[in-house]
């Protein structure tokens, strides 16, 4: 974890955040703490998928939609043939 400082607000109202030059031993004194994805997972108990896992789930979902469409199209073609 990295202690950060909030900068001076700009004209549009946004404030830049930058890493503090001196990192305190106790991070509870920091106004803003920057964490990585792994640290966030450890703190919240929520795991983020890796790119490989995300790709596999996305491909499964895409295949499920396209596969359902192809199967229903085939069934519709057969039903129209007998109609």
% of the chain exceeding 70 in pLDDT: 100
Give start and end residues of each alpha helix (H) in the chain.
37-44, 51-82
> Exposure string (b/e) for 42-74, b if CB count within 10 Å is 16 or more?
eeeeeeeeeeeeeeeeeeeeeeeeeeeeeeeee
Using DSSP, state whether 19 is helix, strand or coil.
strand
- Contact call for residues 34 and 1 (beta carbons, < 8 A): yes
- Whether the pLDDT of residue 3 is over 90: the answer is no
Q: What is the pLDDT of residue 1?
A: 73
- In the chain, what percentage of residues exceed pLDDT 90? 37
């Amino acid at each position: 974890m990295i202690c950060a400082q909030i900068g001076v607000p700009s004209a549009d109202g946004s404030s830049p955040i930058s890493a503090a030059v001196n990192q305190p031993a106790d991070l509870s004194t920091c106004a803003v703490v920057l964490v990585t994805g792994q640290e966030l997972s450890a703190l919240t108990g929520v795991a983020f998928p890796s790119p490989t896992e995300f790709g596999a789930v996305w491909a499964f979902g895409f295949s499920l939609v396209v596969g359902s469409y192809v199967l229903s199209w085939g069934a519709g073609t057969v039903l129209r043939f007998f109609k």
